[in-house]
Structure 1
Amino acid sequence: MTSPIHFVSLLFPRVTQLDLTGPLEVFSRLPGAVSHLVWHRIEPVMTGSGFSILPTVSFEDAPQADVLMVPGGPGAFDVMEDAAVLDFVRRQAAGARYVTSVCTGSFVLGAAGLLHGHRATTHWASHPMLEILGAIPVHARVVRDDALITGGGVTSGIDFALSLAAELYGADVARSAQLAMEYEPEPPFDAGSPHGSDVDPAQVEAGMVSARMSREPIVRRAAARLGY
């Protein structure tokens, strides 16, 4: 009998729910996978989409992760200054087979000191700030650096999860999960990245300026605490 694989995912207020639920949908279709949603307390946590998700376990009672996943969202920058969150991420990362993030969840890993010297990616609007935390920023949907796997913005989480499924279970199992989800994106516009032909460059610039102004001070404080 195959031993269960424990996927431990951080949940926090103002999480971008698809960062979390996209990969969880993939994980739920993998044999022997057990998912745990972790927060300070077992009480509803409001997502950035306006609805709540209930954690399954507290930090204190969480099992050791085989796969640790940190999603992103506006709230990721709040928990970068939550010592209990960062301690939990460090402890879990020390025993995990894979340490992973989606979107701006990479900044939580960075604030925990786990990105220094590693290749990583995140949402395009905040991408340049990864360097402040000692990471080597890479523009890609999924970036693998040994046991560290980071996904880009939001929908990249599904790509990341399928890549990880292939790593853990083999390509056939990952392909089966993709088919069951009918994951075959055909977006109506070429506007899924800053380089798309339907993208307004002014919107890209405004998004990066907004991210820099609201988030860079938090990222720099995290870097200072780590002595970078």
Structure 2
Amino acid sequence: MKHIVLVAFDRFTDIDLFLAWDLFRRIDAARCDVRIVAKNPRITSSTGITIDCHGPLAAAREADAVYFCSGQGSRALADDPEFADAVRLDESRQVLAAIDSGAILLGALGHLHGRRATTYPSPDLRTRLLAAGATPVDAALVTEGNVATAAQCLAGVELVRWVITRLFDRSVADATIATAAPLGAHGDARGADL
């Protein structure tokens, strides 16, 4: 059984959390457990949807994969000293992924230092990546070892595919994504470095 944790926070971007949640939940439940964790037990999205979380941030420590969503609240979480204390990750045994501003959370934890990374194209996020020792690049998906970042909300589909491939294999990833792909689509990631 693989355990995937999605890290969220107040003012998260709806699509970046819910798209990943839905796609990961399409994996056979006997093979994969998916949880949303946050600093607070209830969080509210940037559009006003409030959800109950499944556990605290510290639950990410034991996950096989940790997926950081994005949103305006990512900046406050990245600057929160309790965040780094609660979330200690080990990329030698965990798959780490971030969409858009979620990349600054990986950066705040030290997992982007010396690496290329991508994020939503805004100057403040690029500045934060540079401050974390990363080299910002303009790409939909950037992978290095067990760490990946993606830019723009719909790149989350390829980021999810990458995570599933790392945890299982490409056939499981493609089969999972195919359940949501447009009718007639092959579900392949043309040009993605998986």
* Bin of the TM-score, shorter chain as denominator length: 0.7 to 0.9
Structure 1: gaps spanning 5 or more residues: 187-228
Counterpart mapping for 1:1-228 below 5 A: 4-31=1-28, 32-42=31-41, 44-60=42-58, 64-89=62-87, 91-93=88-90, 96-126=93-123, 128-129=126-127, 130-183=129-182
Whole-angstrom distance in 1 between the partners of 2:160 and 2:115: 20
Give the distance between the partners of 1:12 and 1:112, measured in 2 at CA.
16
TM-score by length of 1: 0.72
Amino acid at match of 1:174: A
- The corresponding residue for 1:203 is none
- Is the 1:27–1:161 contact (alpha carbons within 8 Å) kept by the matching residues of 2? yes
Structure 2, unpaired ranges of 5+:
186-194
Displacement of 1:63: 6.1
Q: Deviations over 1:50-71 (max 9, x none)?
A: 1112100123556601101111
**8 Å CA contact 2:65, 2:96 repeated in 1:** yes
State the percentage of identical aligned residues.
Answer: 25
Count of aligned residue pairs for this structure pair: 180
1:144 is paired with a residue of what secondary structure? strand
How far residue 98 of structure 1 moved from its aligned partner, in angstroms, is: 0.9
What displacement does 1:87 show?
Answer: 2.0
* Alpha-carbon distance, 1:169 to partner: 2.2
TM superposition outliers: structure 1 runs of 4+ over 6 Å:
none
Deviating more after overlay: 45-54 vs 79-88: 79-88
Greater radius of gyration (CA): 1
What are the superposed Cα offsets for residues 149-195 of structure 1, whole Å, 9 maximum, x if unpaired?
111122211111012222332222222222211247x9xxxxxxxxx
Q: CA RMSD in A?
A: 2.1
C-alpha contact (below 8 Å) 1:122/1:153 kept by paired residues: yes
CA 1:99–1:62 in structure 2 vs 1: closer, same or farther (change >3 Å)? Answer: closer
**Which TM-score applies when normalising by structure 2?**
0.83
Letter in 2 for 1:173: V
* Maintained 8 Å contact 2:60/2:66: no
